[in-house]
Chain A
Amino acid sequence: MGKIKISGAEAVIRCLLAEGVDLVYGYPGGAIMPVYDELYKFQDQLHHVLVRHEQGATHAAQGYARATGKVGVAIATSGPGATNLVTGIADAQIDSTPMVCITGQVGKHLLGSDAFQETDIIGISTPVTKWNYQVTEASEIPEIIAKAFYIARSGRPGPVLIDITKNAQFDEFEFSYEKCTGIRSYVPVPKLKLDKVAEAAAIINQAKKPFIVFGQGIILGQAEEQLKAFIEKSGIPAGWTILGLSALPTDHPLNVGMLGMHGNYGPNMLTNECDVLIALGMRFDDRVTGNLKTYAKKAKVIHFEIDPAEVDKNVKTEVAILGDVKEALNAILPLIDQKSHESWYNEFKELLKIEVETVINEELNPTNNKGISMGEAMEMINKHSKGDAIIVSDVGQHQMFACRYAKFNSTKSNITSGGLGTMGFALPAAIGAKMGRPDREVVAIIGDGGFQMTIQELGTIFQTKVPVKIVVLNNEFLGMVRQWQELFFDNRYASTNMINPNFVAIAEGYYIKSKKVVKREDLDDAVAEMLASKDSYFLEIMVEKENNVFPMIPTGACVSEIRLS
């Protein structure tokens, strides 16, 4: 592009277009108005989705990013607009989601003067961003936005916030755009060391009871095929973190299930029996490991990781393979012996049998005239979606049921707030996921608590006509907290019972087709009708009020102390 003189605000739009952005989420306000004025002029090239609260913009951008692998973009004004982004930014940071947030800021001459809607969003967002920067001159805009996108998507992805003062939006300068291809102080992907790969392969080939645990790194590194090939050649059973879910089809024979606090019985018990633990793109979160002092003590740990700061952070490794996971798996595959660890694999199957008999059967076919269970609801969605839907779950009991019971055939299909555990995530994230992948069925699974944290985004659904399917599993409780109160606080249900409004009436108020299911016999038809709908659809399912999620590793306990009841 030749050099032309344009305003900083127009430059923002041209930079976004140059980065391939065609969809942004946001909410206008005083300090960002010049950018909105340009969004108006460029509306045929850059679609802006008006959310109902800035937090919704970040979660929608996250949902979009998680479903597509592209960078999500959220725009807000200064002050409260900017601070409302913070929860979503923190969520994106801990879940490594590529996102660029652009905030307006008061004019440069007013900075630090406590001007109207001035807030130090750089100071506020520093601990929860991969990078942030305040632009005070229009001419900085192209270079900074180019850096923002490069940083957000490269290496271990994360959120970047760019704060642009109002004068920088108005001022004109000679525009030209160059994509960022490197920053001298930043090494996004460490160079793979082949001697480490060989060392790891030798340990894996010697192993009697090896176990693979994989996380979102597989999805972010687009290494799903390599993971599958590695698992199949090595014959090693594989468990997943909740952000790793869907990287490997759930019905793959060597997929032995979910790790961690509410994960499956076998993978948790056998973590402490394995002799080699191969961690792929996961960070040993405390919800996965339980007590670190007793975690996988019989195992040599091999850690495939892109972020050097994660190595030895929580679990001491025998061999760390730093670098791109896809490249690393491609390198190790030829060195791995073709094997099947039959008797070891059977140990997983045996423990699964116990879990099925003691937990899963009762969850899927409740006895004693119990109400609908959350597991049943998920199973019904599986039946009709056939594992092809993107499931966006919120946070709480329903999230654990969604992750434990949902079936997935393809990757990037499980979208949930893992690290931060942000209630209110799912409804806006589902909007973003559906807009990013209009070809896929997108089903949000939400509890009655989390639904009311971002319920206003029903307005966004109504206005944009985005055909997301919304399922609220209503137990009239903040169920996960209630479960802990039952188990660890002697049934003292402090502030966990919810007196709820008429959700169907609210959804209908937004002209969204709605239905409420109370009886088990109505569930099948209702789910079928929801999934058959071409438009958005709200389905409220009344579920058993005081069901608990099991298995469970109590906080601070070790993984093999997992409880079945």
Chain B
Amino acid sequence: MEDKTFTISVYSENNVGLLNRISGIFLKRHINILSLNVSESEIENVSRFIIVANTSEKWVKNIVGQIEKQIEVIKAFYHTDEETIYLENALFKIASSLLFDEKQIQNIIKDSQSTIVTVSRDFFVISKSGRRSEIEDLYNKFKPYGIMQFVRSGRISVSKEKMEISALLESYQ
């Protein structure tokens, strides 16, 4: 079976140690987690993990089963890229002088639909949300001018189809 990119969504209680338990399931199968994001979910006190990994569908099924059987995990799902709306966020820290010396920089910012978060005397910070390729594209455009710092967040995503957890979660409210 061919490896693909899967987005795994985990709804769980907010407990110390659960992240370790979940990452261990990837570790024992020697699968690298490509990106990980943990946040509150739409339900109070319920956390949502978004984990991206490259693997086969058979393995992702097994992994989701093994995640779901952890005591504090409420439900886990996996989706292909086509089944989700997803994006990442990136921050670029760039020397302020470039903003004035290099006219092209302003065009890049405008064309990429990124936003300037802050401007100071020495540097300015640009935020860009979007698909990985859009962020990489922007990165490549800034690179020749010099990037002081770059950071990209883990993937966040929502599924297109309703996840069968909704009713269960409603009972938690």
Query: Which residues on A are within 8 Å of B, measured CB to CB?
Result: 122-123, 126-127, 130-134, 151, 183-186, 307-313
Contact = CB atoms under 8 A, between A and B. Distances in A.
Contacts of B4: none
A130 B72 CA distance: 11
Interface stretch (B16-24, B91-99, B121-129, B156-164): B16-24
B17 A185 contact: no
Interface string B83-115: 000000000000000000000000000000000
Contacts of B66: 309
B47 to A, nearest CB: 11
Interface residues of B, number: 20
Nearest to A309: B65
Contacts of B65: 308-311, 313
Contacts, number: 43
A151 B24 contact: no
Given A127-B24, A185-B12, A308 B69 contact: yes
A186 B69 CA distance: 8
Contacts of A307: 69
Nearest to B27: A127
Contacts of B30: none
Given A186-B71, A313-B62, A313-B65, A127 B13 contact: no
A123 B68 CA distance: 20
Contact of B172 (A151, A184, A313): A184
Contact of B71 (A122, A183, A311): A183
Contacts of B62: 309, 312-313
A194 B159 CA distance: 31
B74 A185 contact: yes
A185 B21 contact: no
A184 B69 CA distance: 13
A499 to B, nearest CB: 37
Contacts of A183: 71
Interface in B2-60: 12-13, 16-17, 20-21, 24, 27-28
Contact of A309 (B24, B27, B68, B74): B68
A133 B65 CA distance: 22
B69 A123 contact: no
A101 to B, nearest CB: 16
B61 interface: yes
B71 A131 contact: yes
A127 B26 CA distance: 11
Contact of A127 (B16, B28, B68, B69): B28
A130 B12 CA distance: 16
B69 A126 contact: no
A151 B71 CA distance: 8
Contacts of A133: 17
Contact of A122 (B17, B24, B68, B69): B17
B1 to A, nearest CB: 12
A132 B15 CA distance: 11
B20 A123 contact: yes
B61 A312 contact: yes
Given A126-B20, A127-B24, A308-B69, 5 more contacts: A123-B20, A127-B21, A127-B28, A184-B74, A185-B12
Contacts of B172: 184
Nearest to B58: A312
Contacts of A123: 20
B73 A185 contact: yes
Nearest to B75: A185
A376 to B, nearest CB: 41
Contact of B13 (A122, A130, A185, A311): A185
A309 B69 contact: yes
14 contacts: A126-B17, A126-B24, A127-B27, A127-B28, A130-B71, A134-B17, A183-B71, A185-B71, A186-B71, A308-B65, A308-B68, A308-B69, A309-B62, A312-B61
B171 to A, nearest CB: 8
Nearest to B22: A126
A184 B12 CA distance: 10
Most buried by A among B27, B28, B61, B71: B71
Contacts of B73: 185
Interface in B146-173: 172
B21 to A, nearest CB: 5
A388 to B, nearest CB: 37
Contacts of A308: 65, 68-69
Nearest to A132: B17
A130 B27 CA distance: 17
Nearest to A316: B58
A311 B71 CA distance: 18
Contacts of B74: 184-185
Nearest to B69: A309
A76 B74 CA distance: 32
Contacts of A132: 17
A24 B68 CA distance: 31
Contacts of B16: 134
B8 to A, nearest CB: 14
A126 B71 contact: no
Contacts of B20: 123, 126
Most buried by A among B24, B61, B62, B69: B69
Contacts of B17: 122, 126, 132-134
Contacts of A312: 61-62
A126 B16 CA distance: 12
Contacts of B27: 127
Q: Kindly list the 5 A-B residue pairs having the minimum CB-CB distance in the complex, ordered from nearest.
A: A309-B65, A185-B74, A131-B71, A127-B24, A309-B69
Contacts of A127: 21, 24, 27-28
A179 B131 CA distance: 49
B69 A185 contact: no
A307 B61 CA distance: 14
A313 B66 CA distance: 10
Contacts of A186: 71-72
A312 to B, nearest CB: 7
A309 B63 CA distance: 8
Most buried by A among B20, B65, B172: B65
Contacts of A151: 71
B169 to A, nearest CB: 10
B44 to A, nearest CB: 13
Nearest to B13: A185
